[in-house]
Amino acid sequence: MIRVRVAVILLCGLLMTISACSLPRITVLSDPLTADEHNDLGVSYEASGDWDRALATYAAAAAKDRGWDQPLINHGNVHAAMGNWTDAIASYRRALRRNPDNPEAMNNLAYALLQVHDVRQAMKWSKRAHTIAPENVTFISTQALILAELGKAGEAAVLLEKALLRLSPDDPLRHPVQKLADELSAGRPALSQ
Amino acid sequence: MLWQKWILKSRLCWAVLAVFFFFSLVPPNAQAFLVQSRLSSGEMISERADQIATIQSALEQKIVSQWLQDYGLSKAEVVAKLDTMSDQQVRQLAELSGDVGGGAIGTTISVLLIILLVVVILRVSDRRIVVQ
């Protein structure tokens, strides 16, 4: 009986303490952005180098539309830019679970796998991307890079030549592809980083 | 101790610094072979680089506008308030989106505190919850 009284006193004390303070106002803030808009906001943060904010915004986009793969590819790209290759791989794999036929996710996964020296898996994903979009210069270049890592300099050089023929002089990819081709022709080991 | 002296030699330090300086001048090539991030429209970052700031500003304004309405401001008041705010202020407010409410951690702590309070009251009153 005494314990019940103590409990009642405690509860009353708590209520009095709460009532003595000004009660905080509870406001439920709603999220006005759609998944598309979260993704676009993430792109803008990524472009301005605000990577932490970009990661959070891409995650929000991916959570809001659980069937959409693009925010996860973008999420992986931010991790890649930060040098977090393991996290980038995880993001690209999640994107591929949502859309198993996305060659861009495959290519980026292949490149990220190459960075962690999983060359076999990298080649597997790169080949898949290249099969889906054989004309894509980025995919061709990634495959050449992987071939170079595997020591198949001849095959890599042929692919790079093919890629260079399709790249316009002002394409930003032209410089790294040309650099890789030069390294291969000079007999130097290709560097993926 | 010889090796320590050798490592701390100023000539060696300068040589290492010079080598690192030249390496730092080489632009990082990490993302060259990655497909860039895309907007919801399918365009890449580089294709809309000139409009990225506009997109960001519009979306952040949308977030802040919604929040001000959630706080009880009318649409007219929101417009008036937003007019007085600089882009930087709007951005700072929009950036709070991830922090308000403490997120998952805040929710977990609140739930744990409530459970703790219930347990303490039950213990003090010598009551038990029996699930049958």
B38 SS3 class = strand
Domains of chain B, residue spans: 102-132
Residue A111 · residue A142 · CB < 8 Å: yes
Q: Say whether residue B103 is in contact with chain A using an 8 A CB cutoff.
A: no
- The first and second tokens of residue B12, run together, are 């060696």
A120 SS3 class = helix
One domain, residues A151 and A184: yes
One domain, residues A95 and A36: yes
Domain count of chain A? 2
Q: Among A25, A28, A30, A43, which would you mutate to test the B interface (most chain B Cβ atoms within 10 Å of its Cβ)?
A: A43
How many angstroms separate the CA atoms of A184 and B111, rounded? 60
Q: Output the domain CATH number for residue A75.
A: 1.25.40.10
Tens of pLDDT, residues B47-98? 888 888 889 989 998 998 988 888 888 888 888 888 888 888 887 777 775 5
Domain end, chosen from A72, A100, A128, is at A100
One domain, residues A138 and A72: no
Q: Output the domain CATH number for residue A125.
A: 1.25.40
> What letter does residue A150 receive in the DSSP assignment?
T
Closest Cβ opposite residue A40 in set B36, B59, B66? B59
Closest Cβ opposite residue A47 in set B35, B45, B97? B45
One domain, residues A124 and A189: yes
Q: Do A6 and B33 touch (CB under 8 A)?
A: no
* Boundaries of domain holding A57: 32-100
| Chain A residues touching B125 at Cβ < 8 A | 3-4, 6-7
- The ipTM of this complex is 0.80
Tens-of-pLDDT digits for all 193 residues of chain A?
A: 677 777 778 777 777 776 666 656 666 778 899 999 999 999 999 999 999 999 999 999 999 999 999 999 999 999 999 999 999 999 999 999 999 999 999 999 999 999 999 999 999 999 999 999 999 999 999 999 999 999 998 899 999 998 898 888 888 888 888 888 888 887 755 544 4
Q: Say whether residue B109 is in contact with chain A using an 8 A CB cutoff.
A: no
| Chain B residues touching A179 at Cβ < 8 A | 29
Range list of H helices, chain B: 2-7, 10-25, 52-70, 75-84, 87-95, 103-124
